[in-house]
């Protein structure tokens, strides 16, 4: 039997005939589709797509929020013999255009929220001739069609109409569909997933039927997920982690997926996250550090608002729990447990138990992916009883490489490598690193991508003799846990050629500081390290008001002290070599955001963009004046926070 995701779907439809596979919020509550219903609707839709002209080898893009029709749309494309190009709803129009033209997508599936973005680039599309509209009412997009020269009758087709057309003609097309499915090979491409382009032009990662089948099978064999568990998906489905675990790995355990309600757009979606979380009452949740960090901040603020007594119990219990649990792998000794038991237990009964209800009353854990998960987040959530287990992966690896699990975990690590993967740590000269020695993470397995679409040169540099060179730095610790320290292409490089990852330092600054919002640490063969930082305007304003500051130098010195607070924080003290800690910084007025393209769709900093925009500020820091952060440029920048703007 061929190892394909379509075969996985057929098997799950037989094994879980009454389980709701996908669930989305509607006007009258949650609407679900069972595994057999997803299978049947996808095949009807595939027949409709074929009538629309989609044939074997064609690409169809999807630009929409997670919902039932996202999944049936993807499966339908595959049943029709095509390849899916999943796109982030956070992309700018020109970024969408590049991906559509580069992938030669024949059609694009959109929602009400994403229609205008696609409409604005309609005339520039080289291959995309049809817009498939997921919602049933076209009237809200008539204005966009008129404005951008789109024929609503010829260029736009509703999902429901394609589905009905497929049902009407299914008997005539069924044998053709079956033949198309039989001809699908394990090496055929399921998706072309584009990199976010943080370090260069985005590349289209080709992931095959076997890639998905093997990564799902290996990950689910390693991770203890019960049949029928409810999975809450906050992440967009184009995200490699959510795509593999949400759509495909779910097939192996009959999971029920719940999507955050995205009706009403971005702001409303954010408001719906905690509401939907309680409603669907998940057993586990997929998250990324930016989301879990937001959860942590809101929990702390919420507890603090209850008053000093409750906050005192909470913090005492948190500190006691951290001392007891340590890294989760090496627990504390009997005496430490005894001394800390009462404050920990008291906080758990009075505060932690209520905090956990934010996630529903069934949650067992969260799984973090997408970026390094700060150790303070890990300790926090582990202690309150909703652990966030960090994993490590790469889209080029479909994406799961390693993971911590409820049974085997070590906080601060990326877990153990999942079964059937070979992982090595290599020095620059190609020799294998000893345990504890740092080098590039290199893997081999059936989950390694087929290559970058239309980019053989980049493919050859990344996949060599069947090994995927991740570009990430890491090492295996004495307990055989993988420790990933940072992205190779984001490395700091000193004048003597030594390299170091900035990500840990950036996390430490951002998680310890009150006034500093973001930091990009920089050293491109310079004599010392520097940083570009943004400030949390609301907190700075409150700080100025509270301390009645009227002098720019006083405020700037307070910001400098805040910037270096991590050096005195227990989790980060003495963790970083002095040469890599920024000696100076420059403050910029505008936060790094997706809108200014300094944050990508996976919430990571786009370093090349930041360096390009703030090139002059970077250069200033290597002048006598800029070598000290208390300088005239920064003084002028912070003056806007002072009374009467001086």
From residue 393, alpha-carbon distances to 66, 308, 432 in Å are 21, 41, 20
In this prediction, residue 496 carries a pLDDT of: 64
Residues in CB range of 556: below 8 A, 6 or more apart? 629, 630, 634, 635, 638
- Above 80 in pLDDT, residue 335? yes
- Tens digit of pLDDT for each residue in 362-377? 999 999 876 677 888 9
Q: Does domain 5-184+223-267 have CATH number 2.170.190.11?
A: no
Helix/strand/coil percentages in the chain, nearest 5: 45, 20, 35
Contacts of residue 19, defined as CB under 8 A and 6 or more positions apart, other chains included, come to: 34, 35, 228, 254, 256
Q: What are phi and psi of 309, to 5 degrees?
A: -65, -50
Give the CA distances from residue 353 to residues 217, 383, 384, 386, in Å, rounded to whole numbers and listed in that order. Answer: 34, 11, 8, 10
Instruction: State how far the Cα of 144 lies from the Cα of 122, in Å rounded to an integer.
Output: 11
Closest CA to 539 of 418, 419, 414, 641: 641
> In sequence order, what are the residues at sequence separation of 6 or more whose Cβ sits closer than 8 angstroms to the Cβ of residue 115?
131, 133, 141, 144
- Reduce the secondary structure of 188-203 to three states and give it as a string: CEEEEEECCCCCCCCC
SS (H, E, C) 582-634: CCEEEECCCCCCCCCCCECCCCCECHHHHHHHCHHHHHHCCCCCCCCCCCHHH
The pLDDT-based confidence of 497 (bands split at 50, 70, 90) is low
Using CA atoms, how far apart are residues 11 and 213, in angstroms rounded to an integer? 13
Could you tell me the CA-to-CA distances from 136 to 43, 88, 156, 265, 288 in Å, in that order?
20, 22, 12, 17, 32
Tokens of 200: 């260069």
pLDDT tens figures, 189-227: 999 999 865 445 689 999 999 999 999 999 998 987 899
- CA dist., res. 301 & res. 58, Å (int): 50
Closest CA to 259 of 241, 224, 285: 285
Contact 17, 254 (CB under 8 A): no
Nearest to 327 by CA among 276, 387, 268, 270: 387
Cα–chain center distance at 547: 38
Question: What is the percent of the chain with per-residue pLDDT over 90, rounded to a whole number?
Answer: 80
Is residue 645 predicted with pLDDT exceeding 60?
A: no
The per-residue pLDDT for 330 is 95
Query: Which pLDDT value is given to residue 435?
Result: 95
Query: CA quadruple 488, 579, 508, 376: dihedral positive or negative?
Result: positive
Q: How confident is the model at residue 553 (pLDDT cuts 50, 70, 90)?
A: very high
Q: CA 559 to CA 543: how far, in whole Å?
A: 10
Tokens of 530: 């520097």
**Res 646 pLDDT > 80:** no
Read out DSSP for 333-351? Answer: -HHHHHHHHHHHHHHIIII
Pairing of strands 189-194, 204-208: antiparallel
> How do residues 105-161 score in pLDDT, each as one tens digit?
999 999 999 999 999 999 999 999 999 999 999 999 999 999 999 999 999 999 999
Mean pLDDT of 81-101: 93
Q: What is the pLDDT of residues 615-628, one digit of tens each?
A: 999 999 999 999 99
How far is C-alpha 309 from the chain's CA centre? 36
Domain borders along the chain are: 5-184+223-267, 491-645
Task: Summarize pLDDT for 442-465 with one digit per residue, the tens.
Answer: 999 999 999 999 999 999 999 999
Say if CB 452 and CB 458 are below 8 A apart: yes
Q: How far apart are CA 437 and CA 466, in angstroms?
A: 23
Q: Inter-axis angle of helices 68-79 and 5-15, to 10 degrees?
A: 120
Return the CATH number of the domain spanning residue range 491-645. Answer: 3.30.300.30
* Calpha distance 117→115 (Å, rounded): 5
Q: pLDDT tens digits for 306-317?
A: 999 999 999 999
For the chain, give the mean pLDDT.
93
Q: What is the pLDDT of residues 374-413, one digit of tens each?
A: 888 999 999 999 999 999 999 999 999 999 999 999 999 9
**H runs (alpha helix) in 233-357:** 240-242, 250-253, 266-280, 289-304, 308-325, 334-347, 353-356
Mean per-residue pLDDT, 325-341? 95
Residue 176 in tokens: 């053709």
The total of other beta-carbon atoms located within 10 Å of residue 166's CB is: 25
Q: Picking from 12-21, 183-192, 356-365, 562-571, which range would have the lowest pLDDT averaged per residue?
A: 562-571
Given this model, what pLDDT does residue 287 score? 85
Return d(Cα 494, Cα 579) in angstroms, integer: 9
- Nearest-CA neighbor of 79 among 178, 175, 196, 222? 178
Query: Could you give the 3-state DSSP secondary structure of residue 293?
Result: helix
| pLDDT(434) > 80 | yes
Question: pTM for the full model?
Answer: 0.84
Is 493 strand, coil or helix? Answer: strand
Q: What is the pLDDT of residue 270?
A: 86
Q: Is the pLDDT of residue 644 over 70?
A: no
Average pLDDT over residues 288-316: 92
pLDDT band of 603, cuts 50, 70, 90: confident
pLDDT at residue 160 in the model: 97
Q: Say whether 119 sits in a helix, a strand or coil.
A: helix
Give pLDDT, residue 576. Answer: 87
| pLDDT given for residue 601 in this prediction | 67
pLDDT of residue 264: 84
**Closest to 393 (Cα-Cα) out of 199, 205, 200:** 205
Residues 247-284 pLDDT 10s = 999 999 999 999 999 988 888 888 999 999 999 999 99
CB atoms within 10 A of CB 252: 19
């Amino acid at each position: 039997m061929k190892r394909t995701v379509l075969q996985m779907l057929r098997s799950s439809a037989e094994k879980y005939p009454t389980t709701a596979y996908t669930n989305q919020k509607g006007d009258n509550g949650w609407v679900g589709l069972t595994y057999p219903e997803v299978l049947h609707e996808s095949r009807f839709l595939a027949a409709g797509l074929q009538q629309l002209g989609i044939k074997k080898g064609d690409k169809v893009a999807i630009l929409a929020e997670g919902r039932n029709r996202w999944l049936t749309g993807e499966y339908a494309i595959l049943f029709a013999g095509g390849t899916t190009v999943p796109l982030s709803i956070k992309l700018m129009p020109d970024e969408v255009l590049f991906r559509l033209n580069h992938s030669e997508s024949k059609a694009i599936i959109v929602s009400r929220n994403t229609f205008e973005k696609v409409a604005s680039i309609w005339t520039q599309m080289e291959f995309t001739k049809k817009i498939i509209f997921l919602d049933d009412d076209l009237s809200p997009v008539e204005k966009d069609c008129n404005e951008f020269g789109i024929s609503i009758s010829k260029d736009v087709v509703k999902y429901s109409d394609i589905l009905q057309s497929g049902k009407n003609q299914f008997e005539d097309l069924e044998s053709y569909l079956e033949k198309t499915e039989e001809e699908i090979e394990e090496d055929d491409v399921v998706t072309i997933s584009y990199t976010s382009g943080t370090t260069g032009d985005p590349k289209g990662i080709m992931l095959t039927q076997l890639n998905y089948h093997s990564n799902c099978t290996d990950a689910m064999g390693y991770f203890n997920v019960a049949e029928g568990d409810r999975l809450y998906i906050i992440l967009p489905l184009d995200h490699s982690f959510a795509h593999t675990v949400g759509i495909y790995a779910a097939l192996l355990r009959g999971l029920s997926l719940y999507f955050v309600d995205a009706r009403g757009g971005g702001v409303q979606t954010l408001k719906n996250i905690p509401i939907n979380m309680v409603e669907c009452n998940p057993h586990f949740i997929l998250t990324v550090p930016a989301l879990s960090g937001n959860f942590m901040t809101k929990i702390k603020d919420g507890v603090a608002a209850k008053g000093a007594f409750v906050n005192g119990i909470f913090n005492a219990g948190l500190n006691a729990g951290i001392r007891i649990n340590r890294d989760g792998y090496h627990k504390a000794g009997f005496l430490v447990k005894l001394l800390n038991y009462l404050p920990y237990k008291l906080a758990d009964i009075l505060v932690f138990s209520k905090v956990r209800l934010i996630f529903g009353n069934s949650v067992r854990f969260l799984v973090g992916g997408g970026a390094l998960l700060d150790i303070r987040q890990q300790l926090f959530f582990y202690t309150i009883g909703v652990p966030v287990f960090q994993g490590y992966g790469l889209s080029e690896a479909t994406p799961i490489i390693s993971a911590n699990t409820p049974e085997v975990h070590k906080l601060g690590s990326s877990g153990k490598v999942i079964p059937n993967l070979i992982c090595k740590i290599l020095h620059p000269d190609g020799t294998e690193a000893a345990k504890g020695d740092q080098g590039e993470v290199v893997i081999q397995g059936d989950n390694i991508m087929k290559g970058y679409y239309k980019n053989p040169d980049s493919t050859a540099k990344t996949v060599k003799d069947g090994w995927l060179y991740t570009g990430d730095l890491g090492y295996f610790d004495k307990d055989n846990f993988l420790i990933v320290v940072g992205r190779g292409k984001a490395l700091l490089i000193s004048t003597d050629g030594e390299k170091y990852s900035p990500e840990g330092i950036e996390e430490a600054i951002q998680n310890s500081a009150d006034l500093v919002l973001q930091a990009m640490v920089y050293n491109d063969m310079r004599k010392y390290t520097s940083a570009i930082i943004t400030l949390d305007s609301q907190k700075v304003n409150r700080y100025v008001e509270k301390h009645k500051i009227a002098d720019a130098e006083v405020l700037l010195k307070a910001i400098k002290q805040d910037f270096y607070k991590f050096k005195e924080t227990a989790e980060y003290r003495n963790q970083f070599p002095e040469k890599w800690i920024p000696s100076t910084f420059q403050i910029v007025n505008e936060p790094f955001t997706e809108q200014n393209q300094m944050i990508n769709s996976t919430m990571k900093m786009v370093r090349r963009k930041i360096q390009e925009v703030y090139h002059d500020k970077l250069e200033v820091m290597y002048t006598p004046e800029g070598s000290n952060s208390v300088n005239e440029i920064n003084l002028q920048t912070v003056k806007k926070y002072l009374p009467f703007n001086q």
